[in-house]
Structure formats: C-alpha cells, structure tokens
Amino acid sequence: MMAQKMTFEITSKDNKGKALEHVLYTPIRTAASAGIAFSFTTANLYNIEFTGEESAVQEFAKTVLLDEVTQILTAAPSSADLVLPEGTLFYLEYQMRPDALDLEQQAILNYYQGAEQTFELNSLQLQHRVFVSADKADIDQALIEHVAKRVESELCNPAVHTSQIHFSK
C-alpha cells in the first residue's frame, strides 16, 4: 500500500475572537493609543502520513486528538487553499523544529503505540495557526506588521519553533 496524507484541523466550538492581550506579555501601546483592539482565534493542525485505511485514521483522530465537548475536527485546508476568517489581518503558522522535543506529539505517538491500530503511522507533524483581526478597518500596514512581529516573537521561540507570518493583503 502507498503512503497517504491527511491533515486534521481542530478549533474550539467557541472560537470567537479573544483579546490579543491574553497571549502577549504587555499590551501593544501603539494600538491602544490609536484606539484599536486586536483579537485572535486559533487552529491546531495534525498532519498524518500513514499506510492503511483512511477511516481508521479518521477514527484515531476523533478518539485521540478531539475533545468532542469543546472542539470541532475538520479536514484542514492547505495554506494555499485556506479561507481566512472574516476580518483577518494576518495569521501566524508555527510548529516545533524537527530536532526539538514536542511533548504533545510524543503523547499521541505513545497512545498510538500502546493501542491496537489498523493503520501504520509513518509520520505525525503538529502545526498551529493564530488568526489576528481588529475591531477597525483601514489600519496602517506598519502597525499590522508591528503587531505581527510582536505576536511571533512572544509565541515562538526560534530555538524550538519555525514560524511564518501570512498577511491577508
């Protein structure tokens, strides 16, 4: 059998924008002085390369990755096919470096190895997306870029993460 790939996206059922200050160490003074409030939503992606039955991988994802009470699991679009949430100014994609210890990935792999499966898990990569929007339109691009760099620098450690910022305009 040939190896196949599936990517699952997990979002919160209550994935309404939260104030960006919740994930930053300090408020963005330039935004506050301009009267702009930034908010964010998130998505976690699980890229699975496998050999075997697709339905078994989907069941594994529902059982192991998903909290059905608070989360929604869907097939994830690639970055090229991604439809941004309305009002998104930019989004940050980040993941652990291949040589860094990813504890969530290890927990998932340990579960896979400890349970009887009808598919072979060839690789598992975790990725995170943070979508940032604002309560006003026509925001200066320099401010958007400043906010993007702040979000990236506070959420990502270059020693253990790789990251990329995607601007909507």
d(CA 56, CA 50): 10
d(CA 155, CA 27): 14
Domain encompassing residue 43: 4-167
Q: Compute the C-alpha angle 40/68/66, nearest 5°.
A: 75
Tell me the pLDDT tens digit for each residue of 132-161: 999 888 899 999 999 999 999 999 999 999
For a pLDDT cut of 70, what percent of the chain falls above it?
A: 98
Determine which of 10-14, 21-25, 27-31 has the lowest per-residue pLDDT on average. 27-31
* CA distances to 36, 61, 89, 111, 126 from 114, in Å: 49, 15, 42, 5, 20
Number of domains in the chain: 1
What integer pLDDT is reported at residue 159 of this predicted model?
A: 95
DSSP run (H or E) holding 161: strand 161-167
96: confidence class by pLDDT, cuts 50, 70, 90 = very high
Check pLDDT > 90 for residue 48: yes
What integer pLDDT is reported at residue 33 of this predicted model?
A: 77
Check pLDDT > 80 for residue 77: no
What integer pLDDT is reported at residue 169 of this predicted model?
A: 67
d(CA 66, CA 135): 31
What integer pLDDT is reported at residue 90 of this predicted model?
A: 96
- For residue 26, report the phi and psi dihedrals to the nearest 5 degrees: -140, 155
What integer pLDDT is reported at residue 81 of this predicted model?
A: 74
* CA distances to 35, 37, 143, 160 from 135, in Å: 9, 6, 14, 32
